[in-house]
Amino acid sequence: MEVIIQTNKEAAAALVARIIAHDLRANPHLVLGLATGSTMERVYRQLVMMHKEQHLDFSLCSTFNLDEYVGLFPSDPNSYRHYMEQHLFQLVNIDPRNTHLPNGMAEDLDGECRRYEALIQRFGGIDLQLVGLGRAGHIGFNEPLSALRSRTRVKALTPTTIKQNATFFGGEEKMPRRAITMGVGTIIEARRCILLATGDSKAAVLAKAVEGPITSMVTASALQLHPRCTVVVDEEAAVQLTEKDYYRWIFANEPEWQDYR
């Protein structure tokens, strides 16, 4: 795991977008794992700008999103399908047939989870998986005590997650209580993972995920097991990390990051 500290939220998101763009240019058939949330909006704005100004080409790539709420139609303004359409898919030249999210309206939810896992495998697995960090320490909707080998499944949401996301729904009482999510095991099978976390509200849980023990209580800590995981954070999120000077040295001196500085 490498931790890269950037000065602010915009700089952190811009770096993540440059990493994605670099891998997409190197492999136009890239299979991208995508995430949602306000933190990711900055990344998608950067990618859309690159598409418009630098002709970043999405026409041959495929995408798989981490999760979707159970009980929401794709057209619902709070669905993650709607989010992706508004923030990325409709703004770049991606083939809609190659954009995939779990179906939260499926009659057989367990069957839908198996279908989604099989579809990822049919595409050869995920090349680059983007994840955010929930305040409960989760990646995707893998809430505390999710098995570190778990696969795509239906997961009950914690009160912390419901409270965090309730503002988008106009109150906790309107929030779905369940979601389909890629499992922790599904996520860490991606060939490359990037975790983006910004803001002081993520500082404590980020320190646990990156520098604490690997535990199912903080499912993001499973990324410590990944052979190629990059954690990109801003100064506010990094405030409780103990090895900040080392992380800054890596970005300033390692040849891998020369083109991104």
pLDDT one-digit tens code per residue, 1-10: 999 999 999 9
Q: Work out the percent of the chain whose per-residue pLDDT is above 70.
A: 100
CB 155 within 8 A of CB 142: yes
| Contact partners, residue 2, CB within 8 Å, separation at least 6 | 229, 230, 231, 247, 250
Domain ranges of the chain: 2-256
Which pLDDT score, from 0 to 100, does residue 87 have?
98
Q: What is the pTM of this model?
A: 0.96
pLDDT band at 11 (very low <50, low <70, confident <90, very high): very high
Residue 61 pLDDT exceeds 90: yes
Give the tens place of pLDDT for each residue, 21-41: 999 999 999 999 999 999 999
Which pLDDT score, from 0 to 100, does residue 193 have?
98
CB 183 within 8 A of CB 153: yes
Which pLDDT score, from 0 to 100, does residue 104 have?
97
Q: Alpha carbon 116 to chain centroid distance?
A: 17
Which pLDDT score, from 0 to 100, does residue 164 have?
87
Which pLDDT score, from 0 to 100, does residue 184 have?
98
Residue 259 pLDDT exceeds 90: no
Which pLDDT score, from 0 to 100, does residue 260 have?
87
Query: What is the rounded (10 degree) CA torsion for 62, 64, 65, 68?
Result: 120
CA 250, CA 238: separation in Å to the nearest integer? 15
How many residues belong to the chain? Answer: 261
Which CATH topology does 2-256 take?
Answer: Rossmann fold (3.40.50)
Residue 237 pLDDT exceeds 90: yes
Give the tens place of pLDDT for each residue, 65-91: 999 999 999 999 999 999 999 999 999
Burial label, 261 (beta-carbon count in 10 A; 0-12, 13-18, 19+): exposed
Which pLDDT score, from 0 to 100, does residue 120 have?
98
Average pLDDT over residues 112-127: 98
Residue 106 pLDDT exceeds 90: yes
Average pLDDT over residues 149-165: 94
Average pLDDT over residues 201-226: 98
Residue 261 pLDDT exceeds 90: no
pLDDT band at 188 (very low <50, low <70, confident <90, very high): very high
Structure tokens at 126: 């995920």
Average pLDDT over residues 219-232: 98
Among the listed residues 219, 233, 44, 40, the one whose alpha carbon sits nearest the alpha carbon of residue 141 = 219
More confidently predicted of 152 and 261: 152
Mean pLDDT across the chain? 97
